[in-house]
Structure 1
Amino acid sequence: MISIYRFIASLALVFSITSLLLSQSRIDGRIVDKTTSEPLAGVNIFFSKTTLGTTSDENGFFALTQVPAGQYELIISMIGYEIEREGMIIVPDEALTVNFRLAPQAILMNEINVTAKKDREWDKNYGIFKRSFLGTGKNGEACKILNEFVLSFSRRGTTFIAKASQPLIINNPELGYKITYILYDFTKQLDEVQYSGDIFFEEIASNSKKQSKLWNKNRQRAYKGSLRHFLHTMASRFELRFEIIDGEMHEKSNWLSILNRRKDPLVKEGFSLLINKKDLFGTSIIIPEQYKALKNDTLVFKGKPDEPLLSFEGRMMVTYVKESPEFTYLLEYDSPSSSQQTSYLLLRADSVYFDRYGRYSEPYMIERQGYLSWEGVGDQLPFDYNIEKK
């Protein structure tokens, strides 16, 4: 059940990185059983896609402190109870109290997926899921699902389906995170994979400065060339190119000189773009000659404050030139050796909101093909990862 506190949070999670340096807020409350009104201990309370979370104490009380101002999706989760999701906007120096009554989850016999017995078919299906979900690059291969026994698999025609009876607990030793992933759906049909869920990141305690330094380096590498990096660059480009006067977009007079001096954020960050405006459906056949250079096209438009809109027709080719594809990717797709990462993007809506720091969370609205689609949960970073310190 989804309840709303102050605001219906149906768009991407948005909060300003600069607010981390400003006033922060506190959220507390109590969680009880909806049927008995007894307090619930050990309930997981977290903001989706972040490292901000806690658990309830023996009396059902919880407190989240030092919460930066912004828009969040609060997740209340405990095994045996229905998940509560609540959208909220936090303002600086605010103290909020929110209480929850969790409804026990009805469990049907055919929904009990936990089993200690594995067979060859399950092992085969688990391998398909793990590679598709976590990714087959260095980060994904290193990840370990600690409670894989909660997974079950089925097929509907040519569609492979995975379900989890409990949140997945994942250890990512390459990026230094323990991940809790509440999987809502997962399907795979041929090479097309779709999944959605709520994710919580916990930083693993480092045992040395060397380990911390390595994790920071790996996180920077995971960020560079990612969809978030690309969208953040597009937002920076929009702010450099346009100014908003009386609610209208106006191109700045020095924009062409910025381009001529090669100070375009896309160039500086290592991205190049081509587009095929006639390919509206993302056909499996890619004809390079049909992709043309963008002629000063406007791809990002004014949305809400700190929430630009991405909009374009056709299929966009996004090439990241500052990093080579992982060798595993070249092997899997029988691709020639390359010093660049090539991806394709299609919008499944007229326009898509994201925030000025590149954070986007509307499932399935941006279809990724190529290198970006190959990366999985093992390559993801929390939304509160500070890109300004990368």
Structure 2
Amino acid sequence: MKTKPYRFIDKKLVFLLLLLFIQKALSQTITGQVTDSQTNEPLPFVNVFISNTTKGTQTDIKGNFTLKLQTSGYSKVVASMVGYKSFEQEFVLRPDEVRRLTIKLQTDTKFLNEVKISGKRDKQWKRLYKDFEREFLGRTKNARNSKILNPFQIDINRKKQVLTANALQAIEIENKALGYGISYQLESFQVTGTSYEFSGKTLFKLLPTTDDLQTQTWDNNRNQTYRGSLRHFLKAVANRKSHQEGFRVYFEKDSTLKISRNRYFNNNALIEINPDTLAQLNSVLQRVTLPARRYEIHYLNRRDPQNWYFDLDREISWIEIKAPILAFSYNGILENSYQIETIGSMSKRRVADLLPDDYQPTDSLLSTPTENAGLIPNFQKQEKLLLNIAQNGYTLGDTVQYEVDVIDATTYHPVGQTVVYLTICSQNQLIEQQKLWVAQGKFKGKWVIPDTLKEGDYQLIVHNSWSKNFDEHFWGRKNIHIISNLSPKNQSDDSIQTAFFPESGTFIAGLSNRVGFTSFTKSGHPVSIKGCVLTPNADTLAVFQSNEEGLGSFYITPPSEQSLKAVLNNGTIVPFPQAVPKGYVMQAEVLKDTASITIKLINNLLHTEWKPMRLLLHLRGQILYEAIVTPKRNLTFAKIPREDLEGTGVMQILLLDALNHPIANRAFYQSASSSDEDEKSTVDIRLFEAELYAGKLSSELLKDEKTISKYTDIQLLTHAVRSYSLEIPPSFDYETGMIVKGKVIQPNGKPVTNTSIIGFINSDSTQLNFQALTDAKGAFSSPPLQWFGKADIVIQVQSEKVKAAVISLDTEPSYIPKWLWIPATPLNNPQKDSLLSRLQERIKLKTTTGAKTLERDFRRNYAKADTTLHIDAATMKVLPFANILESGGEGLTLKSEGAYFGTTRLALLVDGLPTTLESLKSLRGFEIEAIDIIKSSKEAAINVLLRPQSSFFEDQNLKRFVVPGLVK
């Protein structure tokens, strides 16, 4: 015989279940009569309804009405009729209660005095109506499938960037996404650039259904709309199931701060909390309360195409409670919507996403989401290194003033402290590399052009170690032309370079392809060209002509299995892309329609080859739109509303196969949205160019609002665009300073292994020291160190077993970026004349003055010596140090413990480094260049300056180097 196990019974849970059962079993009734407040005459055909529900009716001929409800609790009864002010009354309806109301409606004088609204509106109203519709209905899929049936009843105004609206009659809405007709009595509406606020009373009516499929579609859409909504969250909290329902809630560690999020989730200081434990349930009043706080809410069961965090793709919302407590029903219905402010995913839901208060979901959650749902652990942010120079033409001796910006390519925020390399090179030679210490993402510096450079083109390139994770085509680059000859020669080889770019990345035979092309000289100057595309039989398939910027595009349908060639008007034959037999052409129409992006997917495949594909649109790695596309014919359309693409900059459309391999791609520029025709869109030239390889914008062409879209489109069509990937790249970390690297070997060439070395660094900015250990190859490296300007670095090997160690320092650049072709701005004649004039003056000045720059002598760490003994005489070269000093140093005496000037003991130095008298006694005159004697009481010292051939330091396993440090 089987026995049933004992079970613990939660009495509170039983009470709630019984309460819910009673609420469903019992019915509540509201009855009453509606009359005119002045005449007391009954009013027939008055709409009486429970606000925000489908429960409504009309009064009969005697003004009477009856409403039967299946749920008790908080209710708001509304009575409305054209020509009268709306009536509303709030109360808590008890289970099985019958409540009678007497409603008296007052005449609305505002309506009686209002002029009849015409069926047409002017252009300004239509422009404002688009903004109103977007803010009122929302920016979701449901909003796109909803329509206001009586728009001309709405008065809209904008003053000082504040959009307001009012309507005397209820706004009638047809929501074909959810299957509701909505009558919305607008009470207030106000939208600014940073917030929105509107309120009203709503009556829902079920739209008639045509078939079971539509009924099922509406049911699914309603369930999806409910999931993740504010009501869903509040109801889950009331039932203590927020975690199981897919919600995660966080507090900020510092609640005094405004909502200003780092766009990387893992970089925020957040504390996860359980809101169920904070909620207070009142079973008598059937209400729940939450304490006033700012909550960050993650809904893990659904992705948000617009990622609020770059490393987390779930729906993210913030709610801020403005009252001491937030009160709501067990069903998640707010008692007062003014008590709360929403930001994020929930805020995008407006009237088109409203569900009746009496709606109950019909689906069920399949499983509890995992803790790491939506996290993108390997998301790799990128950086933009922007380089700007004052001009592009210089002469020898000129100073190149430059600016460097290091910004997060996703957020456009400055990157913190980092070491950036500025490399100056020609096509075949490294000229110089500076290491810049960039704080707060910005650096201003200069480079003096050496007199030894030859005339020609040079390139300035900026990068850091972090940027080596990504394509160096998108590092900061600028070309400069240096004139070093008073009779400059023309370029001997400056032939035209022409390149062709199929719109979607691949040239498909038998399909109409848009092809962009560029024409530049080898030195980077744009050239206007004309030409045609010919078949092997010399038939002309297309003709083309570039603009003055060297850019253009044309359409062509290539035949299958034929090699085409492009011929310029001067007879030059240019290679043309080979067409592949099958595939997809993706065309993006971004110029004609300002409201949406139209994408055409054209293919020449058999229907058996049509497979589901992923269509993705992202802005700097942030996914804005995603859909699965399965072609059903050779032409497939996709339309993306621009209002859904929040953000400004270069956006990319990707068509991917089932394995996420790219099939086609296209880029376009989304300018800043402007709701006022007087406001002009602007393009940040530096940020735009940083998204392209070899892109160059003309500021003159960007001044005309009408040409911005066309100009940026042809740039993006004809240039490679920065790509973003979720793949893990090689690990290159930020550099926090300079690393001193070197090697120690014995005179016979064997490495000095596992031996301690000491380094001393002396610069104008600081004095540092470090210790390191040699490895199996004798190599050593210091920790990251910071010094600015040139430094004197002394390395000493700490070993008595090793004699005359050979110490070398690695002072060559660890990485030299490639010279890459980029367009250049040619010098005009006035610029050339100015440079030649400046060069001539500099040559004259150099001839007359012959001035030379004195390098700092790190051997002398003092301002001036009182006496200097120069070792020139042949007899002095063979004398030991002690004899030389006693013969030339008046008042100096040598004792066993040291050297003295009177009673003052002197510090003993060799080339500025501390030493002992015992070591100095081993020196002879042929090793000594001079002896400085400093008699000051503060820094009394003897400093022996060695000749280059001296082996003094080698005998002590010590060597000195002069190394450039960071530029600040």
TM tier relative to shorter chain: 0.7 to 0.9
Quote how far apart the aligned CAs of 1:190 are. 0.4
Instruction: Tell me if structure 1 keeps the 8 A contact 2:83–2:112.
Output: no
1:309 is the counterpart of 2:289: yes
Quote how far apart the aligned CAs of 1:113 are. 7.2
Quote how far apart the aligned CAs of 1:382 are. 0.8
For 2:299, the equivalent position in structure 1 comes to: 320
Instruction: Tell me if structure 2 keeps the 8 A contact 1:19–1:69.
Output: no
**Residues 210-359 of structure 1: matches in 2 within 5 Å?**
210-237=213-240, 265-280=241-256, 282-284=258-260, 286=262, 288=265, 289-294=267-272, 298-303=277-282, 305=284, 306-313=286-293, 315-325=294-304, 327=305, 329=306, 339-359=313-333
Instruction: Tell me if structure 1 keeps the 8 A contact 2:74–2:335.
Output: no
For 1:106, the equivalent position in structure 2 comes to: 109
**For residues 317-360 of structure 1, what are the alpha-carbon distances to aligned partners after superposition, in whole Å with 9 as ceiling and x for unaligned?**
211111112x4x56xx8x85964111112111222111222221
Where does the alignment leave 5 or more consecutive residues of structure 2 unmatched? Answer: 1-18, 365-968
Quote how far apart the aligned CAs of 1:284 are. 4.7
Where does the alignment leave 5 or more consecutive residues of structure 1 unmatched? Answer: 1-15, 238-264
Separation in structure 2 between the aligned mates of residue 346 and residue 163 of structure 1, nearest angstrom: 27
For 2:360, the equivalent position in structure 1 comes to: 386
Q: 1:108 to 1:301 in 2, by over 3 A?
A: closer
Separation in structure 2 between the aligned mates of residue 32 and residue 211 of structure 1, nearest angstrom: 41
- Residue 364 of structure 1 aligns to a residue whose secondary structure is helix
- With the length of structure 2 as denominator, give the TM-score of the two structures: 0.34
Separation in structure 2 between the aligned mates of residue 204 and residue 158 of structure 1, nearest angstrom: 37
1:80 is the counterpart of 2:80: no
**For residues 256-279 of structure 1, what are the alpha-carbon distances to aligned partners after superposition, in whole Å with 9 as ceiling and x for unaligned?**
xxxxxxxxx333211122221424
1:202 is the counterpart of 2:205: yes
**Which one has the largest radius of gyration?**
2
Separation in structure 2 between the aligned mates of residue 162 and residue 362 of structure 1, nearest angstrom: 22
Instruction: Tell me if structure 2 keeps the 8 A contact 1:17–1:384.
Output: no
For 1:364, the equivalent position in structure 2 comes to: 338
Quote how far apart the aligned CAs of 1:309 are. 1.2
Separation in structure 1 between the aligned mates of residue 256 and residue 330 of structure 2, nearest angstrom: 26
For 1:30, the equivalent position in structure 2 comes to: 33
Instruction: Tell me if structure 1 keeps the 8 A contact 2:51–2:203.
Output: yes
For 1:246, the equivalent position in structure 2 comes to: none
- Residue 104 of structure 1 aligns to a residue whose secondary structure is coil
RMSD: 2.6
**For residues 16-57 of structure 1, what are the alpha-carbon distances to aligned partners after superposition, in whole Å with 9 as ceiling and x for unaligned?**
764552121333222222223333222100011111110112
Instruction: Tell me if structure 1 keeps the 8 A contact 2:261–2:268.
Output: no
Separation in structure 1 between the aligned mates of residue 318 and residue 82 of structure 2, nearest angstrom: 39
Quote how far apart the aligned CAs of 1:184 are. 0.9
- With the length of structure 1 as denominator, give the TM-score of the two structures: 0.80
Quote how far apart the aligned CAs of 1:61 are. 2.1
Which deviates more from structure 2 when the two are superposed, residues 281-290 or residues 202-211?
281-290
Separation in structure 2 between the aligned mates of residue 113 and residue 125 of structure 1, nearest angstrom: 20
**For residues 350-372 of structure 1, what are the alpha-carbon distances to aligned partners after superposition, in whole Å with 9 as ceiling and x for unaligned?**
22111222221412322111111
- Residue 216 of structure 1 aligns to a residue whose secondary structure is helix
- Residue 100 of structure 1 aligns to a residue whose secondary structure is strand
**For residues 106-165 of structure 1, what are the alpha-carbon distances to aligned partners after superposition, in whole Å with 9 as ceiling and x for unaligned?**
127885573322111111111111111111211011111111111111234221111111
Higher RCO, 1 or 2 (CA under 8 Å, sep at least 6)? 1
Separation in structure 2 between the aligned mates of residue 296 and residue 178 of structure 1, nearest angstrom: 38
The structure richer in helix per residue is 1
Q: 1:159 to 1:46 in 2, by over 3 A?
A: same
Q: 1:299 to 1:94 in 2, by over 3 A?
A: closer
For 1:53, the equivalent position in structure 2 comes to: 56
Instruction: Tell me if structure 1 keeps the 8 A contact 2:75–2:90.
Output: yes
Q: Which of these residues, 118, 133, 138, is aligned with residue 135 of structure 1?
A: 138
Q: 1:100 to 1:124 in 2, by over 3 A?
A: same
**For residues 265-315 of structure 1, what are the alpha-carbon distances to aligned partners after superposition, in whole Å with 9 as ceiling and x for unaligned?**
3332111222214244634555653432225674323456431211253x3
Residue type of the alignment partner of 1:171: E
Residue type of the alignment partner of 2:173: I
Q: 1:27 to 1:273 in 2, by over 3 A?
A: closer
